[in-house]
A = this chain, B = another copy of it.
């Protein structure tokens, strides 16, 4: 399993937003929608061995985690509005300590970045922090396909979050010489893993 974690600093924590304005009405939810697409879609089908965890930290009721599971997922199309509508449906459910499935393969619970990191760490997973000044992913030989990748949104990663991540991360990885959008970084991570697995 590959797990992608993306932090949505302003992403709304209620379903009270418009699919016609994902950037404005939903706290840059468009970024998270594109991350869902990048993490999961192949030309003809879905990457079944992937989870994407959206850490929603915006108003009115932070923090919540929405998880897309490639194995169980249904009703997802590649356009932003499609993932946006599944996120909206998840946010219309009550978020409790345990995951509730809102639609096939989409789950919501009350949790934040720290808890998610602790769970991955306790499960013994290799956790990688994606950052512009990290080690070159192409040169990093230990990368395996059972890894967890942590990425920031348009605001990057705060200092506090970075302290939490550094505590559990195996190392910091760079995907190229330029700072890119998080969804673009995911494509490059997948490509690197695809090349190694081929």
Known: A188-B187, A188-B188. A178 touches B42 (CB 8 A): yes
Copies per complex of this chain: 2
A43–B182 CA distance with the chains assembled, in angstroms:
8
Q: State whether B181 touches A43 (Cβ < 8 A).
A: yes
- Chain B residues whose CB sits within 8 angstroms of the CB of A34 once the complex forms: 37, 78
The contact of A178 among B43, B81, B184, by CB within 8 Å, is B43
Q: At the interface, yes or no: A112 with Cβ under 8 Å from chain B?
A: no
- Residues of chain B within 8 A (CB-CB) of A31 are 78
Cβ B178 vs Cβ A194 within 8 A: yes
Query: A180 is contacted by which of B42, B138, B175, B178 (Cβ under 8 Å)?
Result: B42
A176 and B188 form a contact (CB under 8 A): no
- CB nearest neighbor in B for A43: B179
A194/B179 in contact, CB under 8 A: no
Q: Kindly identify which residue among B38, B180, B187 contacts A43, using a CB–CB cutoff of 8 Å.
A: B180
Question: Is the C-beta of A198 less than 8 angstroms from some C-beta in chain B?
Answer: yes
Which residues of A are at the interface with B, using a C-beta cutoff of 8 A? 19-20, 22-23, 30-31, 34, 37-38, 41-44, 77-81, 138, 175-181, 184, 187-188, 191, 194-195, 197-198
Given contacts A176-B198, A188-B188, 5 further A-B contacts (CB under 8 A): A34-B37, A41-B180, A42-B180, A43-B180, A180-B187
19 residue pairs A–B, Cβ–Cβ below 8 Å = A20-B20, A22-B79, A30-B78, A30-B80, A42-B178, A42-B180, A43-B179, A79-B80, A80-B80, A80-B81, A138-B195, A176-B195, A177-B197, A177-B198, A178-B194, A184-B187, A187-B187, A187-B188, A188-B191
